[in-house]
Chains A and B, each alone.
Chain A
C-alpha cells in the first residue's frame, strides 16, 4: 500500500465531500445514510441513491406528461409526483432537489403551469447534477479501497 497515495486520495475525498455539503447538494440526512453502511452492506449508500435517481427519472417523466397540454394539466397528478420526489430527496439528503420540490409544490398549489414547467426543468437539472457529483464521490471511494486504504469519516460540522 502506498501510504502517500492513500493519504492524498483520502484528503481529496474529504475535501470533495465537504464541498458537496457547502454547495448545498447534500444535507445531514446523507450523513445519516452513511452511518447505516457497514461491512455487511458496503454498497448501501450507492444502492439507495441509485433507487432515488431511478425514482427521479420516472417521476419527472410522469410529471412532464401531465404538464404537456396547456389546456389539460392534471395538477393533482403533478402534485402527487412532487410530493413523492420531495419525500425521496429528503430521505437521501438531496438538499437542492428537495428545495426545488418545495418551490414546485407552491406552483402546483396555485395551478401555475409555467412555474411548474420551470421547476420541472430545474429539478431535472439538479438530480442529474447530483448524480454526477455522487458518482465522482463513489469513484474516489473505490480508488481509496483499491489503493489499500479505508474510507475516512468526514466531520461536516
Chain B
C-alpha cells in the first residue's frame, strides 16, 4: 500500500491510547496511528492506563501491550472492563503462544495482534473493530 493509498481517518476524530513500557514501540505505534490521522496519547504501563481513565480521559481504541511493570496488560484490561470502560482494546504483544493469547483475550480484549505492528496490522485492527471500512 503506497502512502497515497493510506486512509486518512482524521475526519472520524478517532482517539487512541498506546500502552507500552518500551520507548521504541511507543514511538512506532504512535507514528502508525498518526499516519492514519488518529490522535493518540501514550502511557508506560497498565496502571497509568487505568489512572488516565480514572482522571476522566477516554479513547476509542487502546493498543495494550502485555508485559509491563507495575500492572501488566492482562491486569489492566480486566481493571478497565471492571470500571465499565467500553473502549475497543487490542492486545499487541510478542507473546503469541495459544495459552497466553487466550488468557489475554479472556481479560476483555476485542482483538489481538502479534508484534511488530505494521500499517497493515493496524488497519486490520481498525477494520475488525469497525473503525474503518476497507474499499
In the complex, which residues of chain B have a beta carbon less than 8 angstroms from the beta carbon of A154? none
CA distance A133 to B90 in the complex (A): 35
The verdict on B35 contacting chain A, using a C-beta distance below 8 Å, is: yes
CA distance A84 to B26 in the complex (A): 13
Partner of A88, one of B24, B32, B35: B24
Structural contact, B116 and A51, CB atoms closer than 8 A = no
> Could you mark each residue 20-46 of chain A with 1 if its beta carbon is under 8 Å from any beta carbon of chain B, else 0?
000000000100110110100100100
CA distance A23 to B50 in the complex (A): 44
In the complex, which residues of chain A have a beta carbon less than 8 angstroms from the beta carbon of B118? 29, 32
Structural contact, A51 and B23, CB atoms closer than 8 A = yes
> Which of B22, B94, B116 has the most CB atoms of chain A within a 10 A radius of its CB?
B116
Closest A residue to B120 by beta carbon equals A32
Q: A29-B116, A91-B116 are in contact. Are A55 and B32 (CB under 8 A)?
A: no
Within 8 A of A (CB), among B93-133: 94, 115-119
The verdict on A87 contacting chain B, using a C-beta distance below 8 Å, is: yes
The verdict on A104 contacting chain B, using a C-beta distance below 8 Å, is: no
The verdict on A83 contacting chain B, using a C-beta distance below 8 Å, is: yes
Within 8 A of A (CB), among B67-87: 67
In the complex, which residues of chain B have a beta carbon less than 8 angstroms from the beta carbon of A48? 24, 27-28, 31
Distance in Å from the Cβ of A82 to the closest Cβ of chain B?
11
Within 8 A of B (CB), among A77-91: 80, 83-84, 86-88, 90-91
> Which of A41, A52, A91, A92 has the most CB atoms of chain B within a 10 A radius of its CB?
A91
Structural contact, B22 and A32, CB atoms closer than 8 A = no
Structural contact, B31 and A92, CB atoms closer than 8 A = no
> Could you mark each residue 21-50 of chain B with 1 if its beta carbon is under 8 Å from any beta carbon of chain A, else 0?
011110110011001000000000000000
> Could you mark each residue 1-34 of chain B with 1 if its beta carbon is under 8 Å from any beta carbon of chain A, else 0?
0010000000000000000001111011001100
Q: A90-B94, A90-B115 are in contact. Are A36 and B22 (CB under 8 A)?
A: no
Interface pairs (22), CB distance under 8 Å: A32-B119, A33-B28, A35-B3, A36-B35, A36-B119, A38-B3, A41-B31, A47-B27, A48-B24, A48-B27, A48-B28, A51-B24, A55-B23, A86-B94, A87-B24, A87-B25, A87-B94, A88-B24, A90-B116, A91-B24, A91-B116, A92-B28
B residues contacting A by CB (< 8 A) are 3, 22-25, 27-28, 31-32, 35, 67, 94, 115-119
In the complex, besides A29-B118, A48-B28, A91-B25, 19 extra interface pairs with C-beta distance below 8 angstroms are: A33-B28, A36-B32, A38-B35, A47-B27, A51-B23, A55-B23, A80-B67, A84-B22, A86-B94, A87-B22, A87-B115, A88-B24, A88-B25, A90-B115, A90-B116, A91-B28, A91-B116, A92-B28, A93-B116
